[in-house]
């Protein structure tokens, strides 16, 4: 690749990097203390926020907002997301959500995960809930989950999900 081609690639990459500021991953855990120990060793750093039911790492390498909580239905991936750093970037990402297709749940201003933010949700083709948000401040409580339960409908629709899933035959899952 010529130097000019490499420079063009660097500029395109830099432009993209400015749009999606930080990947967000939220994992539900059973034991917050054990999980904090594990992820602190994995990331070689302690979390920036630690509560009785929640912890968050704001990592720079990889650039990620990694959160864990005991609030999920069962341990495992709770949701993914894109955290932006400005209102204008949030509107840009909202436009991409609408372009991606599917139902966008615009939650708006909310308090969740010990933070105040504005957010929207969408489910990807695999049924994973994606949150897009701009954090505007801290909150003294986890939040009441207002909107999150309605927004994260992927878990309720998931094939073979515990208790609220359709009968196994309806979704092609084994009844075992």
What does the pLDDT look like over 37-46, one tens digit per residue? Answer: 999 999 999 9
Other C-beta atoms closer than 10 Å to the C-beta of 91 total: 11
Report which listed range, 45-59, 75-89, 152-166, is most confident.
Answer: 45-59
Q: How many residues does the chain have?
A: 176
Give the CA-trace dihedral at 90, 96, 98, 99, to 10 degrees.
170
pTM equals 0.67
Fold of 3-171: 2,3-Dihydroxybiphenyl 1,2-Dioxygenase; domain 1 (3.10.180)
Between 131 and 12, the more confident residue is: 131
Residue 133: band (very low, low, confident or very high) from pLDDT cuts 50, 70, 90: confident
- What does the DSSP 8-state code read for residue 175? -
Q: Residue 110: its pLDDT value, please?
A: 81
Domain ranges of the chain: 3-171
The closest of 28, 89, 74 to 53, measured between CA atoms, is 28
pLDDT at residue 162 tops 70: no
Q: How far apart are CA 159 and CA 176, in angstroms?
A: 13
- The β-bridge partners of 58 are 65
CB 89 within 8 A of CB 134: yes
- What does the DSSP 8-state code read for residue 48? S
Peptide bond connecting 117 to the previous residue in cis, omega within 30 degrees of 0: no
């Amino acid at each position: 690749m010529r130097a000019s081609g490499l420079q063009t690639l660097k500029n395109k990459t830099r432009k993209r990097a400015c749009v999606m500021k930080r990947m967000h991953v939220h994992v539900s855990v059973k034991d917050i203390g054990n999980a904090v120990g594990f992820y602190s060793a994995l990331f070689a750093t302690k979390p920036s926020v630690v509560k009785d039911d929640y912890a968050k790492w704001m990592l720079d390498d990889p650039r990620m907002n990694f959160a864990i909580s005991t609030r999920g239905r069962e341990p495992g991936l709770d949701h993914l997301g894109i955290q932006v750093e400005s209102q204008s970037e949030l509107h840009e990402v909202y436009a991409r959500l609408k372009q991606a297709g599917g139902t966008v749940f615009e939650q708006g201003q909310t308090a969740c995960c010990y933070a105040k933010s504005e957010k929207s949700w969408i489910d990807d083709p695999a049924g994973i809930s994606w949150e897009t948000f701009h954090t505007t401040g801290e909150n003294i409580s986890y939040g009441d989950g207002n909107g999150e339960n309605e927004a994260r409908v992927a878990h309720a629709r998931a094939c073979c999900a515990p208790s609220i899933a359709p009968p196994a035959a309806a979704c092609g899952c084994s009844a075992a």
